[in-house]
């Protein structure tokens, strides 16, 4: 369980700086382009609106990609955990079977000793 939680934290922690850097860089680039472009106020407002929509779409796409990656990792971790659970269950069954055989052998030996007396 701890490895699953650790993996999720690592994935989430790794995605945050990338997403933040992408958004900050996009905003700075858009602001710089708008401030130095020789346009009228209406053209500038239209450009700001278009860039805002574009940035929103890019952020949405990046978020969807990140969620998809996290889901994929979570699925991999889940499959790994289920595999380990199956292995442990099988080992438990084998251990119980061995112990039952030992108890049965001990009971049989005890029965034979009682019959000898």
Domain ranges of the chain: 2-116
* pLDDT at 31 > cutoff 80: no
What are the residues whose beta carbons fall under 8 Å from the beta carbon of 94, sequence distance 6 or more? Answer: none
Answer whether 0.75 is exceeded by the pTM. no
What would the pLDDT profile of 93-110 be if each residue is shown by its tens digit? 999 999 999 999 988 888
What would the pLDDT profile of 41-94 be if each residue is shown by its tens digit? 788 788 888 988 998 898 899 889 999 999 999 999 999 999 999 999 999 999
Structure tokens at 80: 């790994």
With contact defined as beta carbons under 8 Å apart, do 8 and 73 qualify?
A: yes
The total number of residues shown for the chain amounts to 117
């Amino acid at each position: 369980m701890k490895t699953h939680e650790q993996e999720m934290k690592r994935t989430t922690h790794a995605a945050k700086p990338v997403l933040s850097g992408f958004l900050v860089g996009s905003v700075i680039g858009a602001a710089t382009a708008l401030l130095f472009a020789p346009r009228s106020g209406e053209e500038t407002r239209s450009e700001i609106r278009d860039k805002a929509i574009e940035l929103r779409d890019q952020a949405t796409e990046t978020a969807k990609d990140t969620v998809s990656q996290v889901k994929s990792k979570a699925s991999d971790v889940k499959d790994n955990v289920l595999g380990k659970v199956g292995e442990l269950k099988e080992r438990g069954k084998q251990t119980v079977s061995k112990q039952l055989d030992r108890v049965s052998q001990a009971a049989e030996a005890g029965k034979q000793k009682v019959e000898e007396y």
